[in-house]
Amino acid sequence: MSIPYFTLGESGLPLLFLHANGYPPECYRPLITRLSEHYHVTSMRQRPLWPNSRPEEIEDWTPLTDDFLRFLDEHQTGASIAVGHSLGGIVALRAALRQPDRFRALVLIDPVLFPPYFIRSWQVIRALGLGYQLHPLVLAAKAARDRRHQFDDLDRLFKGYRRKSVFRYMGDSALRAYVEGIACPGEHGYKLCYSADWEMRIYVTSVWSDMDIWRGLPALNIPLLIVRGAETDTFWASTARRVQRKVPSAQVVTIPQATHLVPLECPDEVYQAIQEFFQENL
Protein backbone atom coordinates (compact mmCIF):
# COMPACT_ATOMS: atom_id res chain seq x y z
CA MET A 1 0.00 0.00 0.00
CA SER A 2 1.26 3.46 -0.87
CA ILE A 3 1.26 5.81 2.10
CA PRO A 4 -1.64 8.31 1.82
CA TYR A 5 -0.95 12.04 1.82
CA PHE A 6 -2.19 15.39 0.61
CA THR A 7 -0.42 18.36 -0.93
CA LEU A 8 -0.90 22.12 -0.96
CA GLY A 9 1.03 24.61 -3.06
CA GLU A 10 2.69 23.86 -6.37
CA SER A 11 5.96 25.79 -6.28
CA GLY A 12 8.91 26.38 -4.03
CA LEU A 13 11.13 24.04 -2.08
CA PRO A 14 9.56 20.74 -0.95
CA LEU A 15 8.32 20.90 2.64
CA LEU A 16 7.15 17.75 4.43
CA PHE A 17 4.68 18.27 7.28
CA LEU A 18 4.08 15.61 9.94
CA HIS A 19 1.02 15.83 12.19
CA ALA A 20 0.57 15.06 15.89
CA ASN A 21 -1.15 12.14 17.58
CA GLY A 22 -4.91 12.59 17.23
CA TYR A 23 -4.59 15.54 14.83
CA PRO A 24 -5.05 14.70 11.13
CA PRO A 25 -3.12 17.03 8.82
CA GLU A 26 -6.27 18.93 7.82
CA CYS A 27 -6.39 20.32 11.37
CA TYR A 28 -3.36 22.43 10.48
CA ARG A 29 -4.86 24.02 7.39
CA PRO A 30 -4.35 27.66 8.55
CA LEU A 31 -0.61 27.04 9.06
CA ILE A 32 -0.16 24.79 6.04
CA THR A 33 -1.96 27.31 3.83
CA ARG A 34 0.50 30.02 4.89
CA LEU A 35 3.46 27.72 4.27
CA SER A 36 2.11 26.77 0.84
CA GLU A 37 2.49 30.40 -0.27
CA HIS A 38 6.24 29.76 -0.49
CA TYR A 39 6.71 25.98 -0.36
CA HIS A 40 5.31 22.85 -1.95
CA VAL A 41 3.80 21.27 1.15
CA THR A 42 3.20 17.53 1.37
CA SER A 43 1.62 16.05 4.49
CA MET A 44 1.91 12.30 4.97
CA ARG A 45 -0.87 10.62 6.90
CA GLN A 46 0.80 8.65 9.65
CA ARG A 47 0.02 5.01 10.35
CA PRO A 48 -2.99 5.56 12.67
CA LEU A 49 -4.81 7.15 9.69
CA TRP A 50 -4.13 4.25 7.31
CA PRO A 51 -6.99 1.90 6.39
CA ASN A 52 -6.88 -1.35 8.37
CA SER A 53 -3.83 -0.42 10.45
CA ARG A 54 -3.66 -2.03 13.90
CA PRO A 55 -2.41 -0.34 17.09
CA GLU A 56 -0.68 -3.51 18.28
CA GLU A 57 1.71 -3.19 15.32
CA ILE A 58 3.96 -0.85 17.31
CA GLU A 59 5.85 -1.11 20.62
CA ASP A 60 7.55 2.28 20.25
CA TRP A 61 7.59 5.09 17.69
CA THR A 62 10.49 3.78 15.59
CA PRO A 63 8.18 2.20 12.95
CA LEU A 64 6.64 5.62 12.34
CA THR A 65 10.03 6.96 11.31
CA ASP A 66 10.47 3.88 9.09
CA ASP A 67 7.15 4.85 7.48
CA PHE A 68 8.36 8.40 6.88
CA LEU A 69 11.60 7.25 5.26
CA ARG A 70 9.62 4.83 3.09
CA PHE A 71 7.39 7.73 2.07
CA LEU A 72 10.48 9.68 0.98
CA ASP A 73 11.59 6.67 -1.06
CA GLU A 74 8.17 6.35 -2.69
CA HIS A 75 8.24 9.98 -3.80
CA GLN A 76 11.96 10.15 -4.54
CA THR A 77 12.21 13.51 -2.87
CA GLY A 78 15.52 15.29 -2.87
CA ALA A 79 16.77 17.10 0.20
CA SER A 80 13.62 18.52 1.80
CA ILE A 81 12.48 20.64 4.70
CA ALA A 82 10.75 18.65 7.44
CA VAL A 83 8.28 20.28 9.83
CA GLY A 84 6.66 18.18 12.54
CA HIS A 85 4.35 18.85 15.48
CA SER A 86 4.48 16.79 18.68
CA LEU A 87 4.69 13.12 17.59
CA GLY A 88 5.45 14.37 14.07
CA GLY A 89 8.43 16.30 15.37
CA ILE A 90 9.95 13.16 16.91
CA VAL A 91 9.31 11.16 13.74
CA ALA A 92 11.05 13.84 11.66
CA LEU A 93 13.93 14.21 14.13
CA ARG A 94 14.67 10.50 14.17
CA ALA A 95 14.59 10.45 10.36
CA ALA A 96 17.07 13.35 10.23
CA LEU A 97 19.38 11.63 12.72
CA ARG A 98 19.33 8.44 10.64
CA GLN A 99 19.56 9.97 7.15
CA PRO A 100 20.61 13.63 7.48
CA ASP A 101 21.43 14.04 3.79
CA ARG A 102 17.73 13.84 2.98
CA PHE A 103 16.94 17.10 4.80
CA ARG A 104 17.77 20.76 4.18
CA ALA A 105 16.36 21.93 7.51
CA LEU A 106 14.31 20.64 10.41
CA VAL A 107 11.52 22.40 12.34
CA LEU A 108 10.14 20.76 15.48
CA ILE A 109 6.95 22.28 16.89
CA ASP A 110 6.58 21.41 20.58
CA PRO A 111 8.06 17.92 20.11
CA VAL A 112 7.33 15.12 22.58
CA LEU A 113 10.84 15.01 23.99
CA PHE A 114 11.52 14.59 27.70
CA PRO A 115 14.85 14.75 29.55
CA PRO A 116 16.88 11.57 30.19
CA TYR A 117 15.88 11.18 33.86
CA PHE A 118 12.22 11.22 32.80
CA ILE A 119 12.86 8.60 30.12
CA ARG A 120 14.62 6.30 32.61
CA SER A 121 11.70 6.63 35.03
CA TRP A 122 9.28 5.65 32.30
CA GLN A 123 11.45 2.64 31.38
CA VAL A 124 11.04 1.36 34.95
CA ILE A 125 7.29 1.97 34.89
CA ARG A 126 6.99 0.15 31.59
CA ALA A 127 9.09 -2.78 32.81
CA LEU A 128 6.69 -3.15 35.76
CA GLY A 129 3.74 -3.36 33.36
CA LEU A 130 2.17 -0.17 34.68
CA GLY A 131 2.16 1.77 31.42
CA TYR A 132 -1.58 2.27 31.10
CA GLN A 133 -1.86 3.27 34.76
CA LEU A 134 1.17 5.56 35.20
CA HIS A 135 2.12 6.83 31.77
CA PRO A 136 3.30 10.48 31.88
CA LEU A 137 0.65 11.34 29.30
CA VAL A 138 -2.01 9.21 30.96
CA LEU A 139 -4.49 12.09 31.27
CA ALA A 140 -4.32 12.70 27.54
CA ALA A 141 -4.62 8.97 26.94
CA LYS A 142 -7.74 8.75 29.11
CA ALA A 143 -9.23 11.78 27.38
CA ALA A 144 -8.67 10.07 24.03
CA ARG A 145 -10.43 6.94 25.26
CA ASP A 146 -13.36 8.71 26.90
CA ARG A 147 -14.19 11.47 24.42
CA ARG A 148 -17.24 11.23 22.19
CA HIS A 149 -16.52 9.68 18.77
CA GLN A 150 -19.79 10.13 16.84
CA PHE A 151 -21.36 13.48 15.91
CA ASP A 152 -24.49 14.59 14.11
CA ASP A 153 -23.57 18.21 13.49
CA LEU A 154 -20.14 19.85 13.15
CA ASP A 155 -21.52 23.25 14.09
CA ARG A 156 -22.76 21.81 17.38
CA LEU A 157 -19.38 20.18 17.89
CA PHE A 158 -17.67 23.51 17.27
CA LYS A 159 -19.90 25.25 19.82
CA GLY A 160 -19.18 22.55 22.38
CA TYR A 161 -15.43 22.75 21.84
CA ARG A 162 -15.56 26.55 21.95
CA ARG A 163 -16.45 26.27 25.64
CA LYS A 164 -13.52 23.96 26.51
CA SER A 165 -10.56 25.58 28.26
CA VAL A 166 -8.08 23.49 26.27
CA PHE A 167 -9.01 25.55 23.19
CA ARG A 168 -8.90 28.93 24.96
CA TYR A 169 -6.08 30.28 22.79
CA MET A 170 -7.51 29.00 19.52
CA GLY A 171 -9.37 31.54 17.38
CA ASP A 172 -12.70 30.68 15.81
CA SER A 173 -11.28 30.07 12.32
CA ALA A 174 -8.53 27.83 13.70
CA LEU A 175 -11.01 25.92 15.86
CA ARG A 176 -13.30 25.40 12.86
CA ALA A 177 -10.36 24.04 10.87
CA TYR A 178 -9.59 21.70 13.77
CA VAL A 179 -13.19 20.47 14.01
CA GLU A 180 -13.39 19.89 10.27
CA GLY A 181 -10.00 18.17 10.34
CA ILE A 182 -10.82 15.63 13.04
CA ALA A 183 -14.19 14.64 11.51
CA CYS A 184 -14.81 12.08 8.78
CA PRO A 185 -18.17 11.05 7.30
CA GLY A 186 -19.69 8.27 9.39
CA GLU A 187 -22.66 5.96 9.24
CA HIS A 188 -24.73 8.53 11.09
CA GLY A 189 -23.27 11.99 10.55
CA TYR A 190 -19.58 12.18 11.45
CA LYS A 191 -16.97 10.22 13.37
CA LEU A 192 -13.45 10.96 14.55
CA CYS A 193 -10.94 10.12 11.81
CA TYR A 194 -8.36 9.14 14.42
CA SER A 195 -9.39 6.09 16.45
CA ALA A 196 -9.23 6.18 20.24
CA ASP A 197 -7.37 2.86 20.26
CA TRP A 198 -4.62 4.25 18.06
CA GLU A 199 -4.43 7.49 20.02
CA MET A 200 -4.04 5.54 23.28
CA ARG A 201 -1.41 3.26 21.73
CA ILE A 202 0.66 6.19 20.52
CA TYR A 203 0.66 7.69 24.01
CA VAL A 204 1.64 4.53 25.86
CA THR A 205 4.41 3.55 23.42
CA SER A 206 6.10 6.96 23.68
CA VAL A 207 9.08 8.15 25.75
CA TRP A 208 10.66 4.86 26.84
CA SER A 209 12.98 4.40 23.83
CA ASP A 210 14.03 8.04 23.37
CA MET A 211 17.55 7.85 24.81
CA ASP A 212 18.72 7.21 21.24
CA ILE A 213 17.61 10.74 20.38
CA TRP A 214 19.74 12.31 23.11
CA ARG A 215 22.73 10.21 22.06
CA GLY A 216 22.30 11.23 18.43
CA LEU A 217 21.66 14.96 18.83
CA PRO A 218 25.33 16.09 19.02
CA ALA A 219 25.88 14.72 15.51
CA LEU A 220 22.96 16.67 13.99
CA ASN A 221 24.44 19.11 11.50
CA ILE A 222 21.43 20.50 9.65
CA PRO A 223 19.65 23.77 10.57
CA LEU A 224 17.28 23.11 13.48
CA LEU A 225 14.43 25.30 14.74
CA ILE A 226 12.23 24.41 17.70
CA VAL A 227 8.98 26.34 18.25
CA ARG A 228 7.29 25.84 21.61
CA GLY A 229 4.32 27.26 23.46
CA ALA A 230 5.15 29.27 26.57
CA GLU A 231 2.51 27.29 28.52
CA THR A 232 3.28 23.85 27.09
CA ASP A 233 3.25 20.81 29.35
CA THR A 234 5.26 18.78 26.86
CA PHE A 235 8.46 20.45 25.64
CA TRP A 236 9.76 22.13 28.76
CA ALA A 237 12.07 25.13 28.84
CA SER A 238 14.67 22.98 30.62
CA THR A 239 14.48 20.44 27.78
CA ALA A 240 15.00 23.25 25.26
CA ARG A 241 18.14 24.35 27.07
CA ARG A 242 19.42 20.77 27.12
CA VAL A 243 18.85 20.46 23.36
CA GLN A 244 20.77 23.70 22.77
CA ARG A 245 23.70 22.36 24.79
CA LYS A 246 23.71 19.27 22.56
CA VAL A 247 23.17 21.29 19.35
CA PRO A 248 24.56 24.82 19.94
CA SER A 249 23.37 26.02 16.53
CA ALA A 250 19.73 25.13 17.28
CA GLN A 251 17.29 28.02 17.53
CA VAL A 252 14.37 27.96 19.99
CA VAL A 253 11.38 30.30 19.67
CA THR A 254 8.79 30.44 22.46
CA ILE A 255 5.35 31.74 21.53
CA PRO A 256 3.52 33.54 24.39
CA GLN A 257 -0.04 32.62 25.34
CA ALA A 258 0.31 29.25 23.66
CA THR A 259 0.29 25.62 24.79
CA HIS A 260 1.31 22.32 23.22
CA LEU A 261 -1.25 23.17 20.52
CA VAL A 262 0.76 26.20 19.42
CA PRO A 263 0.57 25.53 15.63
CA LEU A 264 -3.23 25.49 15.87
CA GLU A 265 -3.46 28.35 18.35
CA CYS A 266 -0.96 30.70 16.69
CA PRO A 267 -0.57 29.70 13.03
CA ASP A 268 0.55 33.16 11.92
CA GLU A 269 3.18 33.47 14.65
CA VAL A 270 4.47 29.96 14.00
CA TYR A 271 4.58 30.65 10.26
CA GLN A 272 6.52 33.86 10.88
CA ALA A 273 9.06 32.09 13.09
CA ILE A 274 9.54 29.38 10.47
CA GLN A 275 9.83 31.83 7.61
CA GLU A 276 12.42 33.97 9.40
CA PHE A 277 14.42 30.85 10.22
CA PHE A 278 14.34 29.69 6.58
CA GLN A 279 15.37 33.12 5.30
CA GLU A 280 18.44 32.93 7.53
CA ASN A 281 19.36 29.30 6.91
CA LEU A 282 18.25 28.16 3.44
Residue-wise pLDDT tens digits, 163-206: 999 999 999 999 999 999 999 988 778 988 998 889 888 988 98
Is 174:259 a contact under the CB 8 Å cutoff?
no
Q: Is 281 exposed, middle or buried (0-12, 13-18, 19+ CB in 10 A)?
A: middle
The confidence score (pLDDT) of residue 152 equals 85
Residue ranges of the chain whose pLDDT lies below 70: 130-149
The confidence score (pLDDT) of residue 245 equals 98
The confidence score (pLDDT) of residue 127 equals 79
Considering only CA atoms, which of 110, 145, 143, 100 is closest in space to residue 18? 110
Q: Distance of CA 199 to CAs 49, 62, 242, Å?
A: 10, 16, 28
* Whole-number Å distance between alpha carbons of 227 and 274: 8
The confidence score (pLDDT) of residue 126 equals 77
Number of domains in the chain: 1
CATH number at residue 41: 3.40.50.1820
* Whole-number Å distance between alpha carbons of 282 and 198: 36
H helices then E strands: how many in the chain?
13, 10
The confidence score (pLDDT) of residue 9 equals 85
Residue 34 phi, psi (nearest 5)? -65, -45
The confidence score (pLDDT) of residue 176 equals 97
**Residue 127: domain span:** 5-281
Is 29:181 a contact under the CB 8 Å cutoff?
yes
The confidence score (pLDDT) of residue 122 equals 82
The confidence score (pLDDT) of residue 147 equals 66
User: pLDDT tens digits, residue range 173-184?
Assistant: 999 999 999 999
